[in-house]
Amino acid sequence: MAKVISKFDFPKLIDQLKKNYDIFAPQSKDGEVIFDSVTDATRVVLDYETTVLPPKIYFLPPEEELFKVTNGKVREIRIEKQFIVFGLNLKDLSAIVQLDQIMDKEPGDFFYRKRRDMSTLIAVSDVEVGVPPGGDLILEKISDSNFRAIATTEKGRKILNLDLFQEKKIEAKAKSKKSLSKLDEMLLDSELLSQAVEWSRENYSQIWEKLGKLCIGCGICTYVCPLCYCTTGEDKISFNKSICSRCRKWDACTLPGFAQIGGGHNFRPTQKERYFNWFYHKFVRAYKEFGQAQCVACGRCQKYCPAGIDIEKVLEEILIEFKKANSKREF
């Protein structure tokens, strides 16, 4: 027996949930799919490849107010209402699981944690889920119109109590998983990627020379990445100086001033170094810190890079050269 919901009931489900939660879900806009607040539940899109910005925008927003100081009195800013991110795909879901681990590492990030505590994650998958990567509720497509509900937390089980979910005996099975992309396959061996990227800085530097010239330092790859989380603080003051907002905004390690200190010295003065650092963080520093590359192969950075850089191809090239240079070692 399992809890099952018909896809025709999704709008009803969203409308019922809206009574107690703010709902954010993928919707079409100007030819792209984006996460947005739901006003009309029938407009929610579920068969999409990827949204423009990843769902991290709800936990680490592009710009967020942390503290408000009014005439010397400091107030921490917190969101007041529970919310649901509906219609996540499994890649974005596993990115959030990884981001939780990053932001909760001691000393944990207070503001991220508060937002996560207020949120419920509902993922939708059109292929079999296997071991759920995380989240609160996953809706797995088992036939053209029916979805099996897999609750993984108390928050998720609470939603399953709604009448729209019916207890049924199911024979149908979800479609088996899509075949892995090359990048997915490479990510299975984070250790090898870490060694190869580290090796490439000195031993295959021509690729970084080339990419340093190609990269225009716009930062888009980091903004669309579900696992990039650099920020910078910024204080804003009202005209009469009585109110101060301490905000933090997304930053990007590929931007020129990222490692520049007061007085002007820049520890990564060239685009080559900054672009390498983006890879170094994702595949080397991240592996050393958390044992896993910070990439889920969502494809956004490749899709939105104005210079057309494709990280799958870059990593492939580095791995080929690394294996060639180390042909006597077994991997």
Partner 1 sequence: MENPLLPVNLEIEDTKDMSSYLKYLRLKPSSGDFRLNNNNLVFNPGQFAMFGLWGYGESPFGIASSPFETKFMHIVVGRIGNVTGAIHKLKKGQKITYRGPYGNGFPIDFFQGKDLVLVAGGFGIAPIVSLIEYVIAKRKKFKKVYLLYGVETPGDILFKDNFNYWRKSIEVILTVNKPTADWKGAVGLVSKLTKKIKINPGNCAAAMCGSQSMEEALENILRPLGISDRRIFVSVDRKMNCAIGKCQHCTTGDKYVCMEGPIFNYDQIQGNWD
Which residues sit at the interface with partner 1, rule CB under 8 A?
66-67, 69, 74, 76, 102-103, 105, 107-111, 113, 201, 229-235, 237, 241, 244, 246, 251, 253, 258-263, 265, 267-268, 273, 276-277, 281, 284-285, 288-289
- Nearest distance, CB of residue 183 and partner 1, angstroms: 23
- Nearest distance, CB of residue 98 and partner 1, angstroms: 14
Pick the closer one to partner 1 by CB: 131 or 261: 261
Pick the closer one to partner 1 by CB: 206 or 232: 232
- Nearest distance, CB of residue 15 and partner 1, angstroms: 34
Pick the closer one to partner 1 by CB: 56 or 281: 281
- Nearest distance, CB of residue 233 and partner 1, angstroms: 6
User: Which amino acid type is present at position 229?
Assistant: Y
Task: Please count the CA atoms within 13 angstroms of the CA of 21 that sit on its side-chain side.
Answer: 23
Pick the closer one to partner 1 by CB: 96 or 284: 284
- Nearest distance, CB of residue 283 and partner 1, angstroms: 11
Pick the closer one to partner 1 by CB: 86 or 111: 111
CA dihedral (55, 58, 59, 62) positive or negative = positive
Pick the closer one to partner 1 by CB: 47 or 117: 117
Pick the closer one to partner 1 by CB: 91 or 281: 281
- Nearest distance, CB of residue 16 and partner 1, angstroms: 31
- Nearest distance, CB of residue 107 and partner 1, angstroms: 4
In degrees and rounded to multiples of 5, residue 65 shows phi and psi of -85, 125
